[in-house]
Structures are given as C-alpha cells and as structure tokens.
C-alpha cells in the first residue's frame, strides 16, 4: 500500500493515499445527501488515513482519524436510531436542525480553547514539526464530527474552515492528492451547508 502509484506535483502518491482518497470522497458525498452509508465509508477511510498520517508525522491527524473510527460507529447509530426532543415536547427521529446562536458561540470558544492545548500536547509528546498548525484543524475536526453525527447544520461551516486550513497543511507535507481531496471537501461543505440549511427548520 505504501508503493508509489503515480507522481503529483513532483511528489509520489501511494496506493494507500489513493484508496483512502476514494473512500473519503464517497463518505462526504453521502454525508451531504444524508445517506447513512457515509459512516462505514468513514470508518474505512479513517483507518487508512491514520496509517498515512502516521507515516507523515501528522500525529494530530492520526488522533483525529482514530477518533473518527470510534465516532463513526456512534454517528451511524445516531443516523439510524437517534432521537431528539421535538417542538411539542415529544421525542422524534433525529432530523437536521440548527444549533442556535448561543451554542454556536460556545462551540467557537471550545475550538479556540482546545487549539493551543492540543498544540502544546503535540509539541511536548511527539516529534511533529507543525504542532500548532496541525492542532487547529484537529480540534475543529473533533467538533465537526460530533455536530455532523447529531445532524446540526453548523457542522458544515466548521468543516469548511477545517478543510481550508488542511489544504495548506497537507501541501506542506507534499500530500498533494489529500490536499486536492480537501479542496473538494471544501466545495462539498458549501453544498452541504446550503442543502441542510434548506431542510432545517
């Protein structure tokens, strides 16, 4: 899997990255369309990307991918069987909804607080050369995944920011196919934001 499949912008692209790219792209397309098969695709893609990022010393991303594997099992369950209180005081199947301003503010504060903390942990306990750069999208990815699993529209702007930063991060590591994937993810995040925004009450 670590053999070179082809060269992109002067850097070798492994078969591992190619397969992970395809699975992750399918996952996000299914997320945008609210198809629950996104979650098993996420599990497979995350396992492969954890391997790839470990080889690239992006340990924050290894942690994210490991979290994605576990949270995708939970997210799959939520999309199939999850319930939420409805406006009438009852309980209904999990539907796309909005966080509301106060919770958006709380999520933003959580992200900003987690970023330097995670960066310090990466700097102290790993040999990564980009601890704080890696920490910002890592913290955002944890938040985005939980919001996605609970079907909050605001997961999409979180992913849009994560994707934009990740494009630059992966470019610095010459993971060009993955950087391209995150450009595509950015476009899909815009699409998901618009589509879910039309569905949400």
State the pTM of this model.
Answer: 0.88
92 sits in which H/E element: strand 91-93
- Choose between 153 and 88: higher pLDDT: 153
3-state helix, strand, coil in the chain (%, to 5): 70, 10, 20
Q: Would the pLDDT of 89 be above 90?
A: no
The residue-averaged pLDDT of 32-38 equals: 95
Q: What is the reported pLDDT for 56?
A: 84
Q: Where are the domains of the chain?
A: 4-83+98-199
Q: Which residues contact 105 (CB under 8 A, 6 or more apart)?
A: none
d(C-alpha 201, C-alpha 198), whole Å = 8
Q: What is the reported pLDDT for 154?
A: 97
The residue-averaged pLDDT of 38-55 equals: 94
Q: What is the reported pLDDT for 88?
A: 74
The whole-chain average pLDDT of the chain stands at 92
Q: What is the reported pLDDT for 190?
A: 97
Q: What is the reported pLDDT for 6?
A: 82
């Amino acid at each position: 899997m670590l053999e070179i499949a082809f060269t992109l912008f002067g850097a070798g692209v492994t078969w591992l990255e190619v397969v992970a790219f395809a699975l992750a792209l399918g996952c996000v397309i299914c997320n945008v369309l609210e198809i629950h098969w996104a979650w098993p695709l996420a599990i497979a893609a995350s396992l492969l990307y954890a391997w790839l990022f470990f080889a690239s010393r992006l340990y924050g991303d290894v942690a994210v991918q490991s979290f994605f594997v576990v949270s995708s099992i939970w997210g799959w369950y939520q999309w199939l069987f999850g319930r939420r209180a409805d406006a009438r005081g009852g309980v209904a199947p999990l539907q796309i909804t909005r966080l509301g301003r106060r919770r958006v503010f709380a999520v933003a504060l959580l992200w900003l607080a987690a970023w330097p903390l995670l960066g310090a942990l990466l700097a102290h306990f790993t040999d990564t050369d980009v601890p704080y750069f890696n920490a910002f999208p890592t913290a955002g990815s944890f938040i985005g995944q939980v919001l996605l699993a609970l079907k909050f529209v605001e997961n999409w702007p979180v992913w849009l920011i994560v994707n934009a930063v990740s494009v630059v991060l992966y470019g610095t590591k010459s993971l060009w196919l993955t950087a391209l994937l995150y450009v595509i993810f950015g476009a899909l995040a815009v699409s998901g934001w618009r589509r879910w925004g039309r569905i949400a009450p």
